[in-house]
Amino acid sequence: MCMQKRKLRDVKEELNVVHVSRRERLVSRFSSKGNQIKWRSGDKFVKLNCLGYENIAETLVSWFLHFTNIKEEDYVDYFSCMIYEDGKRLGIGCYSYDFVKEYEEITIKDLLNAGLRSFSISYDDLREFLIDEIKLDIKNYIDRILCVDSIVRNDDRHFDNISFLYKDGVYKPAPIFDNGSSCMSDTFSYPFEVDFDINYSSIQAKPFRADFKSQIGYVDRLIVDYDGFINSIQFDAQESIRALEVIKRGLAEMEGISWERS
């Protein structure tokens, strides 16, 4: 658990600038949210906002994870940026540093496809399948992801953004990544004109069940430095304030279920 001394603030006035090339664009993975434009440029993964304030969700969630007992190497840090492609400004997005490096990234979707298995698979069946296929028990890894998602209300966790890193015949879990659909960042599905409580109550979980609590079975709860996290935030922008409110609501609802205080 990392003790942060600085505060997370709105960054619209001081965005990092990231330059990419069209030839560095990545083939988009499936998502119910549509195709987000992404690049792999040098040592960075870069992605453009698609449906709202995904950059805020990514940076806030990775900031939140600093205040949990998840090791820093087990999640991806994101940073907001202004993206230029071949000199043309495209808009706001975020970037992370390359966590794949010399490994090959293989998603659960890839493994299910190779094994001719349905994507409508239960938690227990998936766990058994992966033990057979890659000799890895994913319980702790998946439980950790489900706990985080239940707090930040990620409504687009799917088998294409749960991955493993493969090298020399050995698989290991990838760090937790792709949290941009958290915090009601999709302003088409969760418009600002609609009451917060109505929007919040309509968020559905994935990939196993639609209810966040029912996805959480017997898990090792996250340990969260609640006060440290809350006191580290200084937001003024409407989008940032709403994103933080989602996490605060998730923490209140899921305390004792998916997390406990340090």
Query: pLDDT per residue over 214-244, tens digit each?
Result: 998 878 899 999 999 999 998 989 999 999 9
Q: What is the mean pLDDT of the chain?
A: 93
145 and 176 together in one domain: yes
86 and 118 together in one domain: no
* Arithmetic mean of pLDDT, 51-67: 97
- What pLDDT is attached to residue 170? 96
CATH number at residue 207: 1.10.1070.20
Res. 126: pLDDT tops 70: yes
Q: CB burial class (10 A; 0-12, 13-18, 19+) of residue 139?
A: middle
Domain enclosing residue 175, as ranges: 104-261
Q: Is 2 a member of any domain? A: no
Which residue in 100, 110, 101 sits closest to 134, CA to CA? 110
82 and 120 together in one domain: no
185 and 237 together in one domain: yes
- What pLDDT is attached to residue 14? 73
184-207 pLDDT per residue, tens = 999 999 999 999 999 999 999 999
* Arithmetic mean of pLDDT, 158-185: 97
Q: Is 3 a member of any domain? A: no
Among 67, 97, 127, give the residue marking a domain's end: 97
Computed from CA positions of residues 207, 208, 213, 216, in that sequence, does the dihedral angle turn out positive or negative? negative
> Torsions phi, psi of 146, nearest 5?
-65, -35
* Arithmetic mean of pLDDT, 15-42: 86
* 207 alpha carbon, distance to own chain's centre: 13
57 and 173 together in one domain: no
> How crowded is the C-beta side of 96, counted as CA atoms within 13 Å?
22
Cα–Cα distance, 169 to 171 (Å, whole number): 7
245 and 180 together in one domain: yes
25 and 62 together in one domain: yes
Which residue in 176, 172, 183 sits closest to 104, CA to CA? 172
Q: How confident is the model at residue 118 (pLDDT cuts 50, 70, 90)?
A: confident
82 and 131 together in one domain: no
Q: How confident is the model at residue 127 (pLDDT cuts 50, 70, 90)?
A: very high
Strand partners for 92: 82
Which residue in 254, 260, 252, 240 sits closest to 183, CA to CA? 240
Number of independent structural domains in the chain: 2
Residues 255, 181 contacting (CB under 8 angstroms) = no
Residues 134, 164 contacting (CB under 8 angstroms) = yes
Cα–Cα distance, 261 to 222 (Å, whole number): 8
Res. 37: pLDDT tops 70: yes
- What pLDDT is attached to residue 30? 56
Among 97, 116, 143, give the residue marking a domain's end: 97
* 166 alpha carbon, distance to own chain's centre: 21
* Arithmetic mean of pLDDT, 84-88: 98
* Arithmetic mean of pLDDT, 131-148: 96
Instruction: Tell me if the bond preceding 175 is cis, omega within 30° of 0.
Output: no
Give start and end residues of each alpha helix (H) in the chain. 54-65, 108-114, 123-134, 139-152, 196-201, 212-215, 226-231, 238-254
- What pLDDT is attached to residue 19? 98
